[in-house]
Amino acid sequence: MKSILIATDLSARSDRALERAIQLAEFHDASLTIVHVVDEGLPASIADAQEKTARQAILRHAQSLKSVGEPSMSVEVVFGRPHVDILETADQISADLIVLGLHREHLLKDMFRGTTAERVIRAGNTPVLLVKDRVNSPYQRVMVGVDFSVYSRRAVEFATSFAPAGYLHLVHAYDVPFEDIVRATKPQSEVSKQLQLETQQMIEEEMRIFLSTIRMKPSSLERIMEQGMPREVIHQQVEKLQPNLLVVGTHGRTGVSHAFLGSIAEDLLRDPPCDVLAVNAW
């Protein structure tokens, strides 16, 4: 990762995002661009005053957070619409990552739709990190929900380079085909047990094939394959593993609903239990 963009609205939630962006820039020896978007509809005198105040506040706060690594850093204050100018700036600097802040409190169920974060993820091709938690250390427990699709493969590959010191937990949920029918006709039968065993073996083979297609192999990896509905399995594993980073595969042009186990990704982005990294397949 060579270039990181952090978008700030000067709020407390953006402070956490800025701290994480600086930590990542130092860790990856990447350049850091901090962008603040001033509403283009403001009167010129107010907009100019806000531009000057924002630049000073950003520089002061960023300098207080820089440590030994001292990443290359620049500040851009632009006039326009947040999601449009964030994406345009990301394109201009060839950003490898966009970092945004989130409210600490839980988001309302439909609050994610139409936000700057949702629009940046939907309209862009650059991975987006949504920061919720305080920065205590590099990401160590990284959970990736996988469905063996190209979205999942891209998510695992990016997560591996993004958090090379992290322990990756790949979580896959599956159903046993025709299990309900078999149980209804022959409860607890040997046929049912054999069907479960064959399904487990098939899923293990699918996971093996999936991992063989990944170009950048994680150094530390746990494969978790659980029978059940994807939504339930994912949320159970979040409770169990307590990851400090969740990685979801997305397709920017159609949003997250066509990737990473359907609407589960949207659930996690609306009400994230921790920091969430949304990675587009292309």
More confident call, 254 vs 36: 36
**pLDDT > 70 fraction of the chain, expressed in percent and rounded:** 80
Helix 44-65 to helix 12-28 angle (10° resolution) is 50
More confident call, 145 vs 252: 145
**Does pLDDT of 237 surpass 90?**
yes
Q: In this structure, are residues 17 and 86 in contact, taking their beta carbons and an 8 Å threshold?
A: no
Q: Which two tokens stand for residue 171?
A: 């979580």
Burial of 164 (0-12, 13-18, 19+ CB in 10 A): middle
Q: Is the pTM of this model over 0.85?
A: no
Q: Residues 201-209: what's their mean pLDDT?
A: 92
What secondary structure letter does DSSP report for 187?
Answer: T
pLDDT on residue 258 = 47
In the chain, where the domains are located: 1-101, 137-282
Residue 185, beta-bridge partner list: none
Could you give the angle at the alpha carbon of 279 between the alpha carbons of 273 and 282, nearest 5°?
A: 160
Task: Give the Cα separation of 49 and 40 in Å (integer).
Answer: 13
- 3-state secondary structure at position 149: coil
Instruction: Tell which residue, 132, 119, 150, has the closest CA to residue 258.
Output: 150
CATH placement of domain 137-282: 3.40.50.620
Q: 167-174 and 73-80 as β-strands: parallel, antiparallel, unpaired?
A: unpaired
More confident call, 241 vs 45: 241
pLDDT on residue 106 = 42
Could you read off the pLDDT of 140-187 as tens digits, one per residue? Answer: 999 998 988 888 899 999 999 999 989 999 999 887 754 554 455 555
The pLDDT mean for the chain works out to 81
pLDDT on residue 159 = 95
pLDDT on residue 127 = 93
Cα-flanking dihedrals φ and ψ of residue 179, to 5°?
Answer: -60, -40
One CATH from 3.40.50.620, 3.30.300.30, 3.40.1190.20, 3.60.15.10 for 1-101: 3.40.50.620
Could you read off the pLDDT of 1-28 as tens digits, one per residue? Answer: 899 999 988 877 788 999 999 999 999 9
Task: Give the Cα separation of 214 and 235 in Å (integer).
Answer: 25
Residue 7, beta-bridge partner list: 35
**Does pLDDT of 197 surpass 90?**
no
As a whole number of angstroms, the longest Cα–Cα distance in the chain is 79
252 half-sphere exposure, CB direction, 13 A CA radius:
16
More confident call, 229 vs 24: 24
Q: Which residue is it, tokens 């920017």?
A: 252
Could you read off the pLDDT of 31-89 as tens digits, one per residue? Answer: 999 998 887 777 777 777 777 888 888 887 777 776 545 668 888 888 888 889 999 99
Task: Give the Cα separation of 46 and 253 in Å (integer).
Answer: 35
Dihedral of alpha carbons 171, 243, 240, 255, sign: negative
Could you read off the pLDDT of 86-117 as tens digits, one per residue? Answer: 999 999 999 999 999 875 444 444 455 567 88
- The answer to whether domain 1-101 and domain 137-282 are alike in fold is yes
**Does pLDDT of 208 surpass 80?**
yes
Q: 141-145 and 128-131 as β-strands: parallel, antiparallel, unpaired?
A: unpaired
